[in-house]
Structure 1
Amino acid sequence: MLIKTFSYTSLFLSFLLVMTGCKDEDYALPVPKSELQNDAIKRTLGPNLVGLDIEFAYAMAILPEKGKIVSAQVEASIAGATGTYLEHRSYYTNGSGEDVGVEVAAPSTTTGATSSVTFNRDTSAATLRYFYRIPEEARGKTVSFTFSAKSSNGESVSYAMGPYTITNMDMKLDMVATDAAACYISIEDMAIYTAAEAAANPGKIDLVYLHRTPTGLTFNHALVSPAADPQYLPGVTLPAGVNRSTKVNKVWNLRDFHLARLQYGVYIDDVDFQELNLEGAPNFAINVRAEAGVWAETADGRYRAYIYVNKVNNGAKNATISMKRYTMP
């Protein structure tokens, strides 16, 4: 009992010493810097695909009594594709959490790798959005950005962002495959062909889409290799020369954000294709469902793909699919 009392007393005294040593310091409002300042953040997440945008928010500010902002620009290390621009509105978030834009400059001009705006309203603080449309020239490379601003008192600032890696993947969204119609899928072309089109391009057909409801068997929507056992292609007469064997692995709940465009923050990147192992995988996938998908590898090993099923329609016997494709080195 004495040991316990001593222990509690020692602990209490130690607590008092700690509390004594944690005396609050007097708080003082921070003094704002007088010079022109800037900052930037990258707003988009996930891998950077050719054809998509990389979005930034660029903030700049100066004390009103020191001057106004007169211009801002962004220079990319690789010129962006058509659709690259610097927003001429400054954004803030209102009480409802909505982004509200206020026009502060003339619409931006993009010359080569540089997008710029000239302010036409007295502005001492602004946050502009910058959208960089990733060009084909950037595929597999890295791209960097230099943000800069100038004020009426002659000051200038700059802020570097990057480098950011651009993936080697390609992407195609919302292709509709229909049983006994446009049902022949080419991973190389990222397209769906009719029987006549498949006959003209037999070496490019990797999968056949079909919908079946046989008694006693769960088949439904399926993605089947032309070389699969005929039992997985009931009622299908393949066009001449369509005979490739494509490896397929069915997966659930892999809702890639780019393909699904849902709330799930999951992204398939180049490394996923590089490390993909389909050794021993079958050449068919039956009972494929919406918000699921398949990994696939072409017969020649040249392409790997993830095919996501956005939605299915049992009555119309069709499925809307989206695809990410990776060309193997």
Structure 2
Amino acid sequence: MMKSIFNSRNKSALVAILLILGLASCQEKEYENPEPVSELTNDCIKRTLGPNIIGLPIEFAYAMALPKAKGKLLSAKVEASIAGAPGTFLEHRSFNTNSSGQDVPVLVGSPSVKDGNFTKVTFTVDTNAATLRYFYVVPEEARGKSVSFTFSATSSDGGSVSYKLGPYNVSKMDIKRNIAVSNNSSAYISVEDMAVYTAATAASVAGKIDLVYLFGTTPATISHALVSPGSNPIYLPGVVLPAGVNRKSKLRKVFNLQDRNLAQLQFGIYVDDKDFQEINLSDAPDYAIGLRAEAGVWVETQGGKYRAYIYINSVNANGSAVISILRYTI
């Protein structure tokens, strides 16, 4: 057996050296004050999480500042690569957070002016620092594309800065929130139209009716349900379907999938395009019974043209509910 080339004294010396080196490497560096800002600067963050959906806003916070001795802010502007839909605006109030964690607005400019791809605020108070919120409402023109933003500001000393964000992918999904349904009344749901019809009006759009909302009439006295009109009549007891309403959809009930855009609550869960692309409903039944508030139902319409996620916002003991829908065109 080969002997070690280190004797005990050598080993002790080596350990001592390693300890010294280790202590030296762990020593904290002396704190250095950051360099003061000497000119107009800016920064920006995207505050909105989750998929970017047509008709919903994307929120940003744009901050800009310069030394007080250098002058004041004159204007702030945002250019979107695709013009925002109506409702797009740049706040003319600057926000700061108080000790209670609440956002406090301070008026700093005139209401924003939107001109094509540009949205601009002109400052009307003498200020050298501001943080403005920008709300970009995603337009139909951006569906399935990507959108980028250039934020910019100017100051009285002739300074100008800009900050680019993006590109951000825009979802192909559609959204419709807070649709009221009720048993034996507004009970006929069209995924294509993202709308609900009465028995009388459903007959005129029979080829679009994908689901029937039921209350207290399904087997084992299950209260709330969504049933395909082409399902076994056992799941449609007492229901006289309007003429031509006979489509058969595939449904899968789920719990604990409270999509934030549909629930409009504190949940941090989002359904996105990839979920619709990857879900397999080939073996799903044509009914979903035993639904309750905050439950959800995946749906694939007859022929596979649409997939949807229907969220149950609330239910009532009088045989009604409120639902919200995300729809994806295959």
CA distance in 1, matches of 2:325, 2:8: 68
Q: Which of residues 213, 222, 225 in structure 1 aligns to 2:225?
A: 222
Which secondary structure does the structure 2 equivalent of 1:226 belong to?
A: coil
Does the C-alpha gap of structure 1 residues 14 and 200 become closer, same or farther in structure 2, counting only changes over 3 Å? same
| 2:243 is equivalent to residue 240 of structure 1 | yes
CA distance in 1, matches of 2:15, 2:296: 60
Does the C-alpha gap of structure 1 residues 308 and 9 become closer, same or farther in structure 2, counting only changes over 3 Å? farther
**TM superposition shift of 1:15:** 3.3
After superposing the two structures, state which structure 1 stretch, 229-238 or 3-12, moved more: 3-12
| 2:319 is equivalent to residue 313 of structure 1 | no
Does the C-alpha gap of structure 1 residues 8 and 229 become closer, same or farther in structure 2, counting only changes over 3 Å? farther
- 1:257 equivalent in structure 2: 260
**TM superposition shift of 1:36:** 1.1
Does the C-alpha gap of structure 1 residues 144 and 20 become closer, same or farther in structure 2, counting only changes over 3 Å? closer
CA distance in 1, matches of 2:218, 2:118: 60
**Contact 2:218–2:225 (Cα < 8 Å) also in 1:** no
CA distance in 2, matches of 1:27, 1:220: 65
CA distance in 2, matches of 1:74, 1:195: 48
CA distance in 2, matches of 1:24, 1:304: 56
Which secondary structure does the structure 2 equivalent of 1:96 belong to?
A: coil
Q: Which of residues 28, 34, 37 in structure 1 aligns to 2:32?
A: 28
Does the C-alpha gap of structure 1 residues 209 and 12 become closer, same or farther in structure 2, counting only changes over 3 Å? farther
Does the C-alpha gap of structure 1 residues 6 and 261 become closer, same or farther in structure 2, counting only changes over 3 Å? farther
Which secondary structure does the structure 2 equivalent of 1:197 belong to?
A: helix
- 2:298 equivalent in structure 1: 295
Q: Which of residues 90, 103, 113 in structure 2 aligns to 1:109?
A: 113
- 1:37 equivalent in structure 2: 41
How many positions carry a matched residue from both structures? 324
- What pairs up with 1:3-152 in 2 under 5 angstroms? 14-152=18-156
CA distance in 2, matches of 1:114, 1:312: 43
- 2:210 equivalent in structure 1: 206
TM-score, normalised by the number of residues in structure 2: 0.93
Q: Deviations over 1:280-308 (max 9, x none)?
A: 11001111111011100110211110011
**TM superposition shift of 1:274:** 1.0
After superposing the two structures, state which structure 1 stretch, 224-233 or 5-14, moved more: 5-14
TM-score, normalised by the number of residues in structure 1: 0.93
Identify unmatched segments of 5+ residues in structure 1: none
Q: Percent identity?
A: 59
Which secondary structure does the structure 1 equivalent of 2:215 belong to?
A: strand
Q: Which residue identity does 2:299 align to in structure 1?
A: A
CA distance in 1, matches of 2:165, 2:17: 52
Which secondary structure does the structure 1 equivalent of 2:230 belong to?
A: coil
CA distance in 2, matches of 1:23, 1:187: 64
Q: Runs of 4+ in structure 1 displaced over 6 angstroms?
A: 3-10
**TM superposition shift of 1:13:** 6.2
Q: Deviations over 1:51-106 (max 9, x none)?
A: 11011000111111122111110011111111111111111111111111111111
Identify unmatched segments of 5+ residues in structure 2: 1-6
- 1:168 equivalent in structure 2: 172
| 2:163 is equivalent to residue 159 of structure 1 | yes
| 2:325 is equivalent to residue 286 of structure 1 | no
- 2:3 equivalent in structure 1: none
Does the C-alpha gap of structure 1 residues 193 and 15 become closer, same or farther in structure 2, counting only changes over 3 Å? same
Which secondary structure does the structure 1 equivalent of 2:152 belong to?
A: strand
